[in-house]
Chain A
Amino acid sequence: MLLDLPFRCELPKTLTGIRGFDEITRGGLPTGRPTLVCGGPGSGKTLLALTFLVNGALQFGEPGVLLTFEENAEEMASDVASLGFDLPELIATKKLAVDYVRVERGEIEETGEYDLEGLFVRLAHAIRTVGAKRVVLDTIESLFAGLKNDAILRSELRRLFSWLKDQRVTALITGERGAGLLTRQGLEEYVSDAVILLDHRVHDQVSTRRLRVVKYRGSHHGTNEYPFLIDADGISVLPVSSMALQHDAPMERVSSGVACLDEMLSGKGYYRGSTILVSGTAGTGKTSVGAHFLDAACRRGERCLYFLFEESPQQLLRNMRSIGIDLEPWVAAGLLQFHADRPSRYGLETHLATMHRVVADFKPTVIVIDPVTNLMTVGTSADVQAMLTRIIDHLKTENITAMLASLTPGQNAIERTETTISSLMDTWIVLANEEVGGRHRRALYVLKSRGMAHSNELREFALTDHGVQVLDGTDERHRPSRRKHLPEGLGQHAGV
């Protein structure tokens, strides 16, 4: 809904080029106006501001000015160099002007009236030098530490922000989060056009960064907290995309990779863009069902992404080879990509943001998350549900078919544990181990599959050298003999 509203009647905006951010702000920062970005130490304010400047210079042909009050400003250039930001080069080519402002704390004697015209002059000079359209002030509140007359400072800051508007520059002003206030000096009182809050929380030793648009005058904006990432690729925000359930419902079907399973799904397999839950207790063959699905997709030449939260890619490749599914060629062909992470490594939001970014980078049509239940160790079930809703929503919007493997703790809880996420699923396949006559028998059934007349049968299957082999019928007496009659390589070649 957020992203689909018409853009008419909105203020002109300036793209930041920060992935996700321009979406949640519906086009970036208000053009020609100051925006305040506040957050605690290490929350990513400076990086956000610098990315805005660098992207402006490199992607949008808008030179920028950085007026920095940070004591370690010179270190900044080397810090951001790792993100591919070459500040010296930008300065040399007149795409960026940097002025390091030093306020010698307590070394300035104050006597009588003064104003901050010197600061204005410097800023105006820098803007003129490069023809700047973007300006960053980082962190202007440092002035309060250096100068004693708060009354003058406040009136001058007020003047500065309105002066910035007169200059028609799109400005980003950073501020340190204060107690009970968005910024220590209450800058939010002066910058009234747009306010962005960055937050860095640590919960159970897992850190999550979040961004919130507190205020955006004259514009629609998402009011949620959006997780964001700072990594080797810089900063990226995860938009919580439309919750409006407006995605298309494609009629196209995709094979599950197991012929008999396709048959159970009204003969054609899953719907493209649908979400499939495969649940079962440990060792019931969830990963195998997933591997079949990926294998079939790769055979069709589709790009697949496999999120692993339990095994390493090597383990998975080996294990699947043992049942006759060789995924390695698809990896080599660039059709299949693994993304393995320990669930405990990040918070849910960060996982979500990472998945979002990996999906955006690789552009798969099929993804598998295995097992999705491992993520539940990182958050409460409400959090997990919220996160899955977001990711599934996004995947549906992108028409990506997703399979989520879910580990059920005990035999009796097959259909219980997934209630938190099952409502989000289009198709639910349950795998089970049944103990009959001192022997485990594998069985599967389609618990639900929206929009199709699916089979209600409980089918026995085996994990063979040729992968998952669904056995014909349920009559145990006929099982051994029937197995021989199954077509060779049933699972593996199905769906070609």
Chain B
Amino acid sequence: MPAFEGATAGPAPAGQTYELRLYVAGQTPKSVLALANLRQICEEHLHGRYEIEVIDLMENPQLAQGDQILAVPTLVRRLPEPIKKIIGDLSNTERVLVGLDLRVRT
């Protein structure tokens, strides 16, 4: 993400609902960790205005193509636009917040 975009990417405006999708492939330690990390971050920073949909590609493999999923876990911010993708177990809270445009990249 180019640095200059950081100027407009402050904390989310109040009332804006975050529609998040977490793609996992089975109940692996990585996916369990990613979901736990995500819930915690959302509770802390997006309390009351987020939705998390977990998609298990083992059950719905055909859904991988649509969102261009390669890596798992992949978190997709579908709303607000533009779509953002964060891959990994979301263990680095700082980077997740930056990826979700909840914090300015430093």
A interface, CB within 8 angstroms of B:
99, 101-104, 106-122, 124-125, 143, 147
Contact = CB atoms under 8 A, between A and B. Distances in A.
A482 B23 CA distance: 98
Contact of B1 (A107, A111, A120, A143): A107
B30 A121 contact: no
Interface of B: 1, 23, 25-26, 30, 33-34, 37, 57-58, 61-62, 64-65, 68-74, 84-92, 95-96, 98-99
B74 A118 contact: yes
A147 to B, nearest CB: 7
Contacts of B98: 109
A101 B70 contact: yes
Contacts of B73: 114
A156 to B, nearest CB: 9
A102 B37 CA distance: 27
A100 to B, nearest CB: 8
A117 B72 contact: yes
A122 B85 contact: no
A201 B25 CA distance: 45
B3 to A, nearest CB: 12
B21 to A, nearest CB: 13
B61 to A, nearest CB: 4
Contacts of A103: 68, 70
A113 B24 CA distance: 13
B91 A116 contact: no
Given A109-B86, A110-B87, A112-B89, A121 B95 contact: no
Nearest to B61: A125
A104 B85 contact: yes
Given A109-B87, A121-B64, A114 B92 contact: no
Contacts of A110: 86-88, 95
A109 B85 CA distance: 6
Contact of B57 (A108, A113, A117, A143): A117
Contacts of B96: 109, 111
A231 B30 CA distance: 50
B94 to A, nearest CB: 8
